[in-house]
Amino acid sequence: YNILKNHGKEIETPRDVFLAIGEMAFSGASGKKSVFTNEDLVKYSTQPSQFLSSFLKDFSERSDTSQSIVYTFPHLTIQDFAAALAQFLTPNPQNIGKLLSDAHSKEGGRFELFLRFVAGLSSPQSAQPLEEFLGPFLHQTTC
């Protein structure tokens, strides 16, 4: 909420930016991926920016023949939150029940925080401050 309040006016469509990084975060969490490349940013229709730097940290990665920049969420909880938030912002909602069931059945507890964020965001009281900046959530329930 604070990042949106203090930096949200720097971007024209914060909803689209959050949807893009959230989809990338979910794809990464599903594939046990926490390091993303410029190609990943392009695939999810986003680009490095001052606003995005609040959620992704960039690192220079060197190999023997080249140097590239890679991106990572500062902590896996940020990645899980972005992944959960994308489920509420998507204009073409998937079957959220199936998604939750699939995430719950994953071994190793990798999706435990994701599921907690989904449960929290499904509450209108929790979602209301974010909706001020991102517009209405499409999948609200009463918890």
Structure tokens at 63: 């190999």
138 and 89 in contact (C-beta within 8 Å)? yes
pLDDT score recorded for residue 17: 84
Sheet holding 35-37, edge to edge: 35-37, 67-72, 57-62
pLDDT digits (tens, 9 = 90+) for 100-127: 777 777 777 778 888 889 888 888 888 8
pLDDT above 50: residue 45: yes
Q: What is the mean pLDDT of the chain?
A: 79
The answer to whether residues 114 and 103 touch, using CB atoms and an 8 Å cutoff, is: yes
